[in-house]
Amino acid sequence: MGDHFFSADPQSADVRRTVEARIWGKPYVFTTATGVFSRDRLDIGTAVLLRETEPPKQAGTFLDLGCGYGPIACALAVEVPKATVWAVDVNNRALELTGVNAAAAGVAERVHAALPDDVPGDVLFDQIWSNPAIHIGKPELHKMLLRWLTRLAPGGVAWFVVGKNLGGDSLQRWLTEQGYPCERIGSAKGFRVLRATNAAPAPS
């Protein structure tokens, strides 16, 4: 496989630059690099997700699944002062950049950038946020989503953005079939914004 942004360790030179973005009304300057998803600007899908949603109102433990250079994770931690955010990716350069960006945003202590296997097994998530890696193919995508959705706390919520032509509507149906009732809460620029919930009752 070539040196794609989802390589574990991109072989390309680590050429850094900064990108500016406004998320939930606040300005950010993110450091990005070659070998990382959407290094030239905040991805349009991610921008749609953040425009169509509001930040969580309550503190909790959140997951940014497929964090890239960390725009979603950083914004969640900035908006929710007592939140703990796990930012997960398979790309080590992305994880390093997430650390840099969390530090720049003043939230390094609460943003944990980690490989999937390095997240402690007992952590449950009150919310999952993701612009998921569709390119890994449907079987892998489903496997990845179930791996983390099974760790969504009872009553927890998962937010996704997926291109319509990349299967946004079928993903909505699939999530519902898996026991995570899913509704489309927004649609813009060819992207669907989905909200799925963990309908399972809390253990008594």
Ligand X SMILES: C[S@@+](CC[C@H](N)C(=O)[O-])C[C@H]1O[C@@H](n2cnc3c(N)ncnc32)[C@H](O)[C@@H]1O
Of positions 31, 38, 101, 127, contacts ligand X by CB under 6 A: 38
Any contact of residue 43 with ligand X (CB under 6 A)? yes
- 175, 105, 12: which is closest to 183 by C-alpha? 175
Of positions 78, 85, 144, 162, contacts ligand X by CB under 6 A: 144
Of positions 21, 92, 99, 116, contacts ligand X by CB under 6 A: 116
Nearest distance from C-beta of residue 38 to ligand X, angstroms: 5
Any contact of residue 6 with ligand X (CB under 6 A)? yes
**d(Cα 169, Cα 181) in Å, to the nearest integer?**
13
**d(Cα 45, Cα 96) in Å, to the nearest integer?**
22
- Taken in order 7, 8, 13, 15, the sign of the CA dihedral is positive
Size of the site for ligand X (CB under 6 A): 22
Nearest distance from C-beta of residue 118 to ligand X, angstroms: 11
Q: 118 vs 69, 89, 189, CA distance in Å?
A: 18, 10, 35
Of positions 33, 48, 63, 67, contacts ligand X by CB under 6 A: 67
Q: For residue 28, how many other CB atoms are within 10 A of its CB? A: 20
**d(Cα 17, Cα 90) in Å, to the nearest integer?**
21
Build a one-symbol-per-residue string for 145-184: x at contacts with ligand X by CB under 6 A, - elsewhere: ----------------------------------------
**d(Cα 43, Cα 59) in Å, to the nearest integer?**
26
Nearest distance from C-beta of residue 171 to ligand X, angstroms: 13
**d(Cα 19, Cα 97) in Å, to the nearest integer?**
12
- The first and second tokens of residue 95, run together, are 């994880």
Stretch that binds ligand X, among 18-26, 65-73, 77-85, 175-183 (CB under 6 A): 65-73
- Taken in order 122, 123, 127, 131, the sign of the CA dihedral is negative
Stretch that binds ligand X, among 14-22, 36-44, 99-107, 119-127 (CB under 6 A): 36-44
The footprint of ligand X (CB under 6 A) covers: 5-6, 37-38, 43, 46, 65-68, 71-72, 88-91, 94, 116, 131, 133, 136, 144
